[in-house]
Amino acid sequence: MKELKDGIRSSVHIDLVGNVHKRFRGTDADKRCANEVRILQTLEKRDCPYVPRLLESTPDENYIVTTNCGAPAPNITRNKSDALFAELEREYGVRHDDPEPRNVTYNQKLGRFCLIDFELATLLPDPTHQAGESADVWRVSWSARTRQGSNHLANDDAFLALEVLPDGAQVLDPCGESLLEPAHLVLAVSDGMGGGKAGEFASRLVLSWIRKHAKTLYESLHDRSDDLTPLGDLLRNAHEGINKLAAGADNLTGMGATLTLAWITPHLVHLAHIGDTRLYLHRQGETTQLSHDHNIAWRQLKRGELHETEYRTHPRRSALYDALGGGHPSINPELSSHPLEDGDRLFLCTDGIIDGLWERHIRNDLSAQGSPRDVADQLLNHATANDTRDDATLIVADVRRL
């Protein structure tokens, strides 16, 4: 690949087909990478034609691949570049926080100037929704299921459905529905680890921590939906708390947990994730895994070095390099935001579900017509019919714009 840039904050290369490969470096590389991914995904959703399209992202390696928006435009005037950045904010709701001419290119194919490098940018409300905001009502219906594994003395999995409002949070039933705005909806699954009852305790402790701090998170995410730092801080604080508890009690040695959390607002779902529990988005017959499994075998799978069968039977698949607690000195949780559309279906699950379902089975079951309760039952029954050894927990949620 041809090197385009080798700087303190990033290295940039272009491959043989013209795509741009960017690896983030230095201070807050993970946050800058996550922000650029979030901004590019939103701009694609908002149909902005003069920015790169995100082709691939590997958050745990701070690495993205995008389309190419042309060559630098060194002769562009400051007035012209200022007008381009102002148009981006006015028409597409993104404020570029480094609005310099060096972030302007010229694309001969499009016949126009384009904007690049969104690691420093702020996501604003979608301007196209402002006029009808008062009538913009979203509803989420969900159903959660869990089943203890045959190899377990207790169910180490746990799930949470939580409605969060400005004045506090309320735990909801395993099945229900919620209207968004001002309410936000939190759905989460956790798989505990550790001997004895340590795993069961860890997963419930993590979800209790979320409930305790939900109001503070609401204030941050409602006012600045583009800043996911508070979600990352929540997971890091929970991690420190679990390690501290485990260090003080012999029966809690090795206590830890995975977590996949979906914080759902109108238009967006924010993901906070660590471990090998999962979040999927099912849209118009296509299913996309939004989270990444935090083990070495997953990286090999994404690089094409393993196929699905090899990954599922890999001896190191369950060896997590990141989890809450478990004696890990520090963590690097996965944080991202994804636009929602009317008719989307979200699917959260623990690895006990994955043990019994291939990716094609997940896609087929999520494509089924029916309520979240029906689909959740179908997924759980199919998974446990194939493998009952591990605890199996899932949540299916349907998103509707009224």
pLDDT (tens digit per residue) in 259-270: 999 999 988 999
Residues 8 and 50 reside in one and the same domain: yes
Interval 84-137: pLDDT, tens: 999 999 899 999 999 999 999 999 888 899 999 999 999 888 887 654 444 578
Residues 281 and 200 reside in one and the same domain: yes
* Residue 299 banded pLDDT, cuts 50, 70, 90: confident
Residue 384 belongs to a domain? yes
Residue 310 belongs to a domain? yes
Q: Which of 130, 117, 136 is nearest to 66 (CA)?
A: 117
Q: Does the structure show a pLDDT above 60 at 234?
A: yes
Residues 104 and 184 reside in one and the same domain: no
Interval 252-265 mean pLDDT: 94
Answer yes or no: pTM beyond 0.75: no
In percent, the amount of the chain with pLDDT more than 90 equals 71
pLDDT confidence of residue 287: 95
Residues 87 and 192 reside in one and the same domain: no
Residue 227 belongs to a domain? yes
Q: What is the mean pLDDT of the chain?
A: 91
Residues 113 and 224 reside in one and the same domain: no
Residue 272 belongs to a domain? yes
Lowest-pLDDT choice from 80-94, 119-133, 194-208, 307-321: 119-133
Residue 130 belongs to a domain? no
Interval 142-160 mean pLDDT: 94
Residues 52 and 168 reside in one and the same domain: no
Q: Does the structure show a pLDDT above 90 at 160?
A: yes
Interval 147-172 mean pLDDT: 93
Residues 27 and 141 reside in one and the same domain: no
* Residue 276 banded pLDDT, cuts 50, 70, 90: very high
Lowest-pLDDT choice from 53-67, 122-136, 240-254, 299-313: 122-136
71, 101, 125 - which closes a domain:
125
Q: What is the CATH number of the domain that holds 258?
A: 3.60.40.10
Residues 184 and 314 reside in one and the same domain: yes
Domain, as residue range, for 95: 2-125
Residues 260 and 344 reside in one and the same domain: yes
77, 93, 125 - which closes a domain:
125
Q: Does the structure show a pLDDT above 90 at 170?
A: yes
pLDDT confidence of residue 23: 96
Residues 160 and 241 reside in one and the same domain: yes
Residues 219 and 365 reside in one and the same domain: yes
Lowest-pLDDT choice from 21-25, 130-134, 348-352: 130-134
Q: Does the structure show a pLDDT above 90 at 195?
A: no
Q: What is the CATH number of the domain that holds 93?
A: 1.10.510.10
Residues 164 and 97 reside in one and the same domain: no
125, 147, 170 - which closes a domain:
125
Q: How many domains does the chain have?
A: 2
pLDDT confidence of residue 129: 62
Q: Does the structure show a pLDDT above 60 at 209?
A: yes
